[in-house]
Structure 1
Amino acid sequence: MSFAEDRSEAVADVAHARRYGGECLVREADGGSGETVGTETGPRMLSHAETVQIVHAQFVLIALGADLGRLQTAGRSCYRTAVALQRERPADSRAYARAADLCERAARLVVAAGAAADERARRRLLAVAEHDTAVATGAVDPEVADRARRVLESALAGADSLPDRPGGEDPAGATPPAGATGRRGPRYPGPTYDAATGRHRVGVGAAGDPAHWQLNTPGVGMENGLICGAAGSGKSSFLLMVLYEASCRPEFELWLAEPAGRRALPEPLTGAAARTAATRQETVDLLRDAVGVIAERARAHGPVPDPTPDLPGILLAVEDCAPVFADDPEATRLAERVVAVGGRFGVALVATAPDAGLASFGGSRALRTGLARTNCFPLGPDGRRTLTEVRRAG
């Protein structure tokens, strides 16, 4: 695995863990009755919180391929981030702390199943986890449960068909080189961006179908986007998934703005960015320069329907846009210009916001609509209602 692939894998793993950590806290806060489970010593009553944590640990285990090394690395990163954010962003700190807990739970499952260095055991563990989570999230639907059962049977049959490897022989029949970690997890497949469609996967939707982010539309231009939700809903983690996909492609260029100076974006991404901003004024300067790029490209090249390494698609990402646009007509006007015409010239604006109220967008309906037109992902328990409101207002 190359350094770029390894870095992308690590960023994606932390993003997945953070997402499930935030979701876990939300589900725990919902309340609910406990659940009785069978154990070797008889029935045991689990609290609602523990039941939720077990399910979300399985989600993390699945997302990270039941790979012990990846789970441990992501857990350490989440723990360090939780400590760093404890004072300035307590809600995010709690989500990262829960993510670290989930990684630890998932790692214990791998070890207990003997799957740390056994491919057959790892695949069986994944199959069982995928079945359990499918049933847990869709048990009221007999069709979902039946489909999960069939998938489990097929996956277990596939795992059992793997050839035995006496003496811990490597699957490829080769001896690992000196210094190798000996990880048995699946090779990271890399980014999912498809140049033919201009989109990449960002998870699974409410109906169980893959959810995608439209980074650009081939033959048309770059696409804007809006990610909104309350503190702890996973906005930053979602944004990370979009940014790391773009950072792995030579035809895209990152401009990253964190106007509140919270340093929520990891160093591998900020290090890969062409431009960064750490204050509100620097963010306004980035917006002004983006408008300048649009004007220059319009004068010198005309439309840029497809980004190239020589004429890259610029993705200007603003983490928490509300402080930038509030009471600042110039910043709002610049952003309106970017979302209105920037896509045709290879410049897009992606922003996170605490909610979809107009106050987060400087009172500009045009800005909110322009951001949300193609990519709109409201997170948290009110996400569906927020999405409906934004689309109606637009």
Structure 2
Amino acid sequence: MQSNGTLGTMWEGIEGLPDWQGFLVVVGGAVLTAALLQIAGDRYLKRVTARIPGEVDDVVLRGVHPALYLTVAIGGVFVGVDLFDLAETDAATLEAAVLSLVTVIWLVTLVRVGRKVSNAVTDNRYLDRQVVPIFQNVWSAVVVGVAGFLLLTYWGIDVTPLLASAGVAGIVVGLAARDTIANFFGSLALYVDGTYKVGDYVVLDSGERGRVEDISVRSTVIRTRDDILITVPNATLNNAAIVNESTPRRKRRIRVPVGVAYGSDLDEVEEILLDVAASTESVLDRPSPRVRFRQFGDSALEHELLCWVPNPALRARVTHHLNRGIYQRFQEANVEIPFPQRDVRLSSAAAGGEDGTASPASTDGIQANSDVPGDPRVDS
């Protein structure tokens, strides 16, 4: 109660001063309050934001401080003018003018802060450089729209017809540009999810595979192994299953199936496969290559050579070298690689007719053995 009485006495004293003196006192008090807010606010907020990584918090604080001080100072001027009746216009017009000035100040400030924040969060990643400006433009459009609505409200302009017109225009634009809008939001979803970035090696659900060359607001460009550029809309990629072979690590495992004939020395086969993997360029030592005996096939003992390559783009090349090396080593070691074949035998009754000639049309007495290892007698 005593503090309220003191403030009341001070206010009565200010009101008792001449107009120009009272006005200067009120404005000076507002400026002093702004300075105190700057000193105290900087110290307190720096302690709070020191634990937050990055420069975004510092950029925001440095950006809004001038607008905050100007708002407090303008508020003091408005109170002084209104209190001592120094303006020639009515109070409503003065209030609308002051609020409009403050709104414009904050409009410019928030747009600049959005631009500075986008520059602060943009790092060396190409995807960020492409997508962050989108957020900046959206932020600027929202700030300008809100500021325009407030300015119209201050001056007593009915915004209902404008809102209705904007709603109809929005529906028309949305129907006309639905694909573009879908691609835009698809690019935002791909960025937020971190699906891929430029340089990643991806495989689409359609079977196309290649390196991501470019990511824009509308589409993504992929360079295939045939050196062909494929442009895919972001809306399509957002609804598709995408395999990113470059994350979380770029190295990838390749599988080389190998079948050897029954009766082969399994220890020798495994030794040959591991030697071929060790002597092949681009095959990593760690994780080390390994051989797995998968199953007893119809005509072969089915093995699989498993090894790792440092880059998914090398899988086809390394598989080629491994297949060549395995085939050459198997030939040198006389390890047989079986293949499906068929032996056809004709009985004596089916081999000739009444006159002893062959009867091609007759199929009686034919015996067939399928999938027998060795050289085929008759190709089927």
Tell me: higher relative CO, structure 1 or 2? Use CA pairs within 8 A at least 6 residues apart: 1
Which has more radius of gyration?
Answer: 2
- TM-score by length of structure 1 reads 0.22
